[in-house]
Amino acid sequence: MFLLDNQVVRADWRQAKAMVTDLLAKNGAKVLCARRWDERKLAYPIKGRTRGTYLLAYFEIEGPGLNSVRRDFELDERVLRYLLLKVDAIPAGEMEKAAEEGADGYVVPPPPTDEVTSAERAVFGDLADRPIQENLRRNAPADEGDAAEGAEAEVTEAAATEES
What tens digit of pLDDT does each residue of 62-79 get?
Answer: 888 899 999 999 999 999
Look at residue 23 and tell me if it is in a domain: yes
Residue 140 shares a structural domain with residue 59: no
Residue 71 shares a structural domain with residue 30: yes
Instruction: Give Cα separations from 157 to 32, 55, 154, 160 (angstroms).
Output: 62, 53, 5, 5
- pLDDT at residue 59, rounded to an integer: 95
Look at residue 44 and tell me if it is in a domain: yes
- pLDDT at residue 117, rounded to an integer: 64
The dihedrals phi and psi of 38, each to the nearest 5 degrees, come to -170, 160
**For the domain that residue 62 is a member of, what is the CATH number?**
3.30.70.60
- pLDDT at residue 107, rounded to an integer: 80
- pLDDT at residue 88, rounded to an integer: 92
Residue 28 shares a structural domain with residue 61: yes
Domain with 154 in it: 118-163
Look at residue 128 and tell me if it is in a domain: yes
- pLDDT at residue 135, rounded to an integer: 52
Look at residue 107 and tell me if it is in a domain: no
With a cut of 50, which residues of the chain have pLDDT below it?
147-148, 151, 155-156
Domains of the chain: total: 2
Look at residue 112 and tell me if it is in a domain: no
14 touches 102 (CB < 8 A)? no
Residue 78 shares a structural domain with residue 122: no
pTM above 0.75, yes or no: no
Helices (H), the chain: 6-11, 13-26, 63-75, 94-102, 118-124, 132-139, 144-163
